A = this chain, B = another copy of it.
Amino acid sequence: MSSNSPTSTPPPRGDKRLVRQSANRASYEREDLYHVLDACPIGHVSFVHESWPQSVPTAIARIDDHLYLHGHPKSRLYQALSRGERVCVSACRVDGLVKARSAFHCSMNYRSAVIFGTGELVGADEKPALLDRFTDRLIPGSLEDYRPYLAKELKGTALIRLALDEYSVKIRTGDPIDDEEDLELPHWAGVIPIESTYGTPLPSKNLNAAVDVPAALLAGVDP
């Protein structure tokens, strides 16, 4: 993880997980996968619907060794997931623009993951505790500040998990890599970082003025 080029044993030639472009940036390590997923609140879930690939951006949360997604039980996505159809989830976070002396060698610093699998519907017994952990992953520190779920809400929320067995990770960090013969050209080269930060919480217009932001929530979203 600390190096520019994560390394691990690649899957065999022809395997769908095999990263072929910039293969030196690929990783097949679980800790790298978690590092990427934990930085990405949104995953793009693709499945095949009437012979078209269809990709749906949706909130994701990695909890222990599974990836969780939730949504309306009747949505096309959750119908496909609960039928056990094959899906692919990709997630990506951009950490910087990489400017080289040539446009050809420009790039981005990023962390990305691609996961293949089939979904499994979480049962009613496990759902409440896992939904709490899901919420706490997406809005860190908020968990003590909700009224309890209503029975109809639990029923109306499909929670799906995917095993994290088949995946690849790609991470780029660091400087541009220019051609040796370009190094003395009078062009700037370097990285423009992209920072994603939480701003000051904005109270809802209908919030009772006596209600403050809970300390745990403030701490959870503290940059």
Chain A residues near B (Cβ < 8 Å):
16, 20-21, 41-42, 44, 46-57, 59, 71-72, 74-76, 86-92, 94, 96-97, 99-104, 106, 108, 110, 112, 114, 116, 131-132, 135, 138-139, 142, 145-147, 149-150, 153, 157, 175-176, 178, 182-208, 211-214, 217, 221
Contacts and interface: CB of A to CB of B under 8 A. Distances in A.
Given A41-B108, A103-B131, A52 B192 contact: no
A74 to B, nearest CB: 8
Contacts of A203: 188-190
Contacts of A102: 146-147, 149-150, 153
Contact of A55 (B21, B88, B221): B88
A56 B90 contact: yes
**Copy count, this protein chain:** 2
A53 B55 CA distance: 9
A101 to B, nearest CB: 6
Nearest to A135: B103
Contacts of A139: 97, 99, 106, 192
Question: 8 tightest CB-CB pairs across the interface, nearest first?
Answer: A193-B199, A46-B46, A44-B44, A57-B92, A55-B90, A46-B53, A189-B204, A104-B153
